[in-house]
Amino acid sequence: MPEPTITEWRIHIGAHKTATTHLQEVLGGRADEIAEMGATFLPVRQARQALPKPRTRARRIATRLLPALAPVLNRPRPEAAQSGLQAAARVRGPMLISDENLLGGVFGALHPRLYPALSTLRFLEVLARRAPLRVFLAIRSPDRLLPSAYAEGLKAGPIRDGHLARIVARWRDRPPLWSELVARIARTVPSARLHVWDHADYARHWREIHRRFTGLPLPDGPDLPGIDRNRTPTAAGIAAACALPAHMPRRAAAVRAIYAQHMPGPGAPVFDPLSPQDRARLQAAFAEDLARLAASDPGLVWRF
């Protein structure tokens, strides 16, 4: 079976809780249109089948990755007419992938260093030997990232008592720096051209962000509701999720059901473990960090 001919890799790596699901759903729904324009958007499920698992040694990927992609793209599928996979099998152009787990799990977003282990990205340098590589990262102010990522983390499993208080204390003393993460990504994947956008811009400019990520002149399509579909619940919802048994089956589904019953509204504000002072400090630190990133490379941070 012939391997796909990739002329450019365009890989979006997250971060978590930055509207990644919305981007994946919109572009997945436009996969046929993208294929007709000469590129391939690989749906996240297929991407996770083809891409190496964490801790796979990078030196093994050169002989395994592209052959692994070929059957995923060429496999007959009932939904092929809608998914664009048939056209993708014939494409000779850019490969578009979006997978926030390439940075690590959601708990990496709560670490003081923001995703401390980037070994999962080492294979990207191998890809860059085959074709030019662009890496895309959405970032978010820590004051909004913390409650959202914490709520998401509870779907994966219980979080130890006192862990949230320790996160807040650490971030209060040393706000996490996206610029430090970007520098580590650049060292891990030195061949990549990096692009960064602020999650705060996504709600208003998501169509333009999709155009820049794909590198295609995508016409405006229908709006997809639910940019904030995975919203953070109230404090009562977080407490109910924390009270679930530690090792229960279908935990994620149970947590989602709890959150659906505890959405913010009048008299029930969104879960937020930060004090006003902590929030202001993190917001100020993020603004400085974003300015630092923009000054480091004129083309790194997208402006709208």
Largest CA distance in the chain: 60
Alpha helices in the chain (DSSP H): 20-29, 31-36, 44-50, 65-74, 80-83, 85-90, 123-127, 142-153, 163-173, 178-188, 202-214, 235-242, 251-260, 276-296
The C-alpha atoms of residue 26 and residue 226 are separated, in whole angstroms, by 11
Identify the pLDDT of residue 187.
Answer: 96
Helix (H, G, I), strand (E, B), or coil: what is residue 196?
A: strand
25's CB contacts (< 8 A; 6+ apart) are 224
Structure token pair of residue 235: 């404090």
How many Cβ atoms sit within 10 Å of the Cβ of residue 162?
Answer: 9
Per DSSP, 4 falls in state: P
Burial bucket for residue 145 (CB in 10 Å: 0-12, 13-18, 19+): buried
Instruction: pLDDT tens for the chain, 304 residues: list them.
Output: 555 688 999 999 999 999 999 999 999 999 989 988 989 898 888 777 766 565 554 445 544 555 555 554 554 444 443 444 444 445 568 999 999 999 988 999 999 899 998 887 888 888 888 899 999 999 999 999 999 999 999 998 877 778 899 999 999 999 999 999 999 999 999 999 999 999 999 989 999 999 999 999 999 977 766 666 678 999 999 999 999 998 889 999 999 999 999 999 999 999 999 999 999 999 999 999 999 999 999 899 999 9
CA distance 159 to 241: 10
pLDDT of the residue at 62: 44
Residue type present at position 87: A
Predicted TM-score (pTM) of this structure: 0.88
The tens digit of pLDDT for each residue in 109-123 reads 999 899 998 887 888
Contacts of 55 (CB under 8 A, 6+ apart): 119, 120
pLDDT value of residue 284: 98
For the record, the structure tokens of 289 come out as: 């960090």
